[in-house]
């Protein structure tokens, strides 16, 4: 009996075929036929320390990473806030990729959100050294009229009350609401966070946050508890150990590509989210099978993000790099096995 590889091999092949069937450049493609994607999240300055180096204040933020990634595939309508100290050149760079910034407020007399973190040797764990909310403290997002066609809403990491305010401002509920969050909000705003979680379709968090949120060590038990809180889908990010997708009684696992050098994992989760939602916006298909492909694309993009500090690597890659990387995923997990 021949068992053809893993489910993942099929998801990867499906994704590779999809890429190959498009011989047009991604940039030139008519993105208006995709589902309309709105992204909310922090835009930030980060200071990062890893065992391999230390950065000064560099550009970061959940929505920044999501936009850099998703704009490889589709149009992004961004909602965020920055201070007068945020470089105009960074906003221009996103605008040049087709990211719509009408929903990004610039508070001239205030400071941009600042986060600093330090990674340990295994790079899977990090400590937050400092979080300065600055402009995020009193941020009241305003959803522009031109964003009201939103079909997929990506709530990147941000104050939970701000995330839910964006949902509330949508005159028509988006077809899919995806949410990312982190332990910081679990520690200081658990009630608000649980309320926002109850409103979304897909929640993505890392394994330690899943345990913190559910109080369960077993990820399977934790997933059941969290899906009972509202989300129909749960994605558990496990850093260099890949990601799990849960839905009802189904589960799918995607690995992370083993890389020779991991320089800075910051933003990998957001980049993963950007690839995930962009694939769904482009294919307009929310089936579990298509979500598997979306996870593979997210993982492939996240593998670029970690290769350099901050958003640097995401600014360099092109369509051909992405295709080659997806192909590496195919090689990684595709196998035949013959039971004797």
* 3-class secondary-structure state, position 234: strand
* Of 266 and 290, CB closest to ligand AMP: 266
Among 141, 239, 267, 298, binds ligand AMP (CB under 6 A): 267
* Of 157 and 290, CB closest to ligand AMP: 157
* Residues whose CB is less than 8 angstroms from the CB of residue 277 and which lie 6 or more positions away in sequence, other chains included: 37, 39, 66, 70, 152, 154, 178, 294
What is the DSSP pairing of strand 126-132 with strand 2-4?
Answer: unpaired
Please give the size of the binding site for ligand AMP, defined by CB under 6 A: 17
Question: Rounded CA gap, 275 and 265, in Å?
Answer: 16
Among 8, 38, 39, 62, binds ligand AMP (CB under 6 A): 62
* Of 184 and 253, CB closest to ligand AMP: 184
Q: Tell me the window of 18-26, 80-88, 167-175, 260-268 that interacts with ligand AMP (CB under 6 A).
A: 260-268
* 3-class secondary-structure state, position 130: strand
Contact of 36 with 154, CB cutoff 8 Å: no
* Residues whose CB is less than 8 angstroms from the CB of residue 204 and which lie 6 or more positions away in sequence, other chains included: 178, 179, 180, 234, 235, 236, 237, 269, 272, 273, 276
Binding of residue 301 to ligand AMP (CB under 6 A): no
Binding of residue 131 to ligand AMP (CB under 6 A): yes
In angstroms, how far is CA 143 from the centroid of its own chain? 20
Query: Structure tokens of 207?
Result: 């394994």
Contact of 215 with 226, CB cutoff 8 Å: no
* Of 141 and 267, CB closest to ligand AMP: 267
The strand pairing partners of 46, in sequence order, are: 58, 115
* Of 35 and 278, CB closest to ligand AMP: 278
Binding of residue 268 to ligand AMP (CB under 6 A): yes
Binding of residue 134 to ligand AMP (CB under 6 A): no
The strand pairing partners of 244, in sequence order, are: 236, 253
Q: Under rule CB under 6 A, which residues in 135-194 are in contact with ligand AMP?
A: 157-158, 182, 184
Among 60, 103, 231, 239, binds ligand AMP (CB under 6 A): 60
| Minimum distance of ligand AMP from residue 1's CB (angstroms) | 42
| Minimum distance of ligand AMP from residue 320's CB (angstroms) | 25
Q: Tell me the window of 24-32, 58-66, 68-76, 224-232 that interacts with ligand AMP (CB under 6 A).
A: 58-66
Q: Under rule CB under 6 A, which residues in 190-249 are in contact with ligand AMP?
A: none
* Of 36 and 71, CB closest to ligand AMP: 71
| Minimum distance of ligand AMP from residue 57's CB (angstroms) | 11
Q: Tell me the window of 17-25, 161-169, 255-263, 265-273 that interacts with ligand AMP (CB under 6 A).
A: 265-273
Residues in the chain: 340
The H-or-E segment that residue 253 falls in is strand 250-254
Binding of residue 46 to ligand AMP (CB under 6 A): yes
Binding of residue 274 to ligand AMP (CB under 6 A): no
Phi, psi of 102 (to 5 degrees): -55, -30
- In angstroms and rounded to an integer, the radius of gyration of the C-alpha atoms of the chain is 19
In angstroms, how far is CA 65 from the centroid of its own chain? 8
Residues of this chain that bind ligand AMP (CB under 6 A): 42, 44, 46, 60-62, 115, 131, 157-158, 182, 184, 266-270
């Amino acid at each position: 009996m021949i068992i053809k590889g893993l489910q993942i091999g099929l998801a990867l092949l499906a994704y590779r075929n999809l890429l190959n069937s498009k011989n047009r450049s991604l940039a030139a493609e008519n993105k208006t036929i995709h589902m309309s994607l709105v992204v909310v999240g922090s835009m930030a300055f980060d200071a990062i320390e890893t065992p391999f180096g230390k950065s000064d204040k560099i550009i970061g933020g959940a929505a920044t990473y999501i936009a850099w990634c998703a704009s490889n595939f589709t149009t992004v309508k961004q909602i965020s806030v920055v201070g007068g100290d945020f470089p105009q050149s960074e906003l221009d760079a996103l605008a040049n990729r087709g990211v719509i910034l009408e929903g990004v407020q610039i508070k001239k007399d205030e400071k941009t959100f600042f986060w600093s973190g330090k990674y340990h040797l295994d790079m899977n764990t990090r400590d937050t050294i400092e979080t300065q909310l600055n402009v995020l403290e009193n941020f009241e997002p305003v959803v522009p009229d031109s964003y009201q066609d939103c079909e997929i809403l990506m709530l990147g990491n941000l104050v939970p009350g701000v995330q839910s305010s964006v949902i509330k401002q949508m005159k028509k509920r988006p077809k899919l609401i995806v949410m990312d969050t982190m332990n910081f909000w679990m520690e200081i705003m658990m009630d608000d966070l649980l309320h926002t979680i109850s409103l979304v379709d897909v929640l993505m968090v890392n394994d330690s946050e899943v345990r913190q949120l559910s109080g369960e060590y077993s990820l399977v038990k934790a997933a059941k508890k969290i899906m009972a809180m509202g989300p129909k889908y749960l994605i558990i990010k496990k850093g260099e150990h890949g990601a799990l997708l849960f839905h009802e009684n189904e589960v799918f696992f995607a690995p992370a590509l083993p890389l020779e050098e991991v320089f800075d994992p910051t933003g990998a989760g957001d980049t993963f989210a950007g690839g995930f939602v962009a694939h769904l916006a482009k294919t307009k298909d929310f089936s579990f099978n298509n979500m598997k492909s979306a996870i593979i694309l997210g993982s492939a993009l996240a593998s670029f993000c970690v290769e350099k500090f901050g958003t640097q690597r995401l600014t360099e890659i092109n369509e051909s790099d992405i295709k080659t990387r997806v192909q590496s995923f195919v090689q990684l997990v595709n196998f035949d096995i013959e039971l004797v």
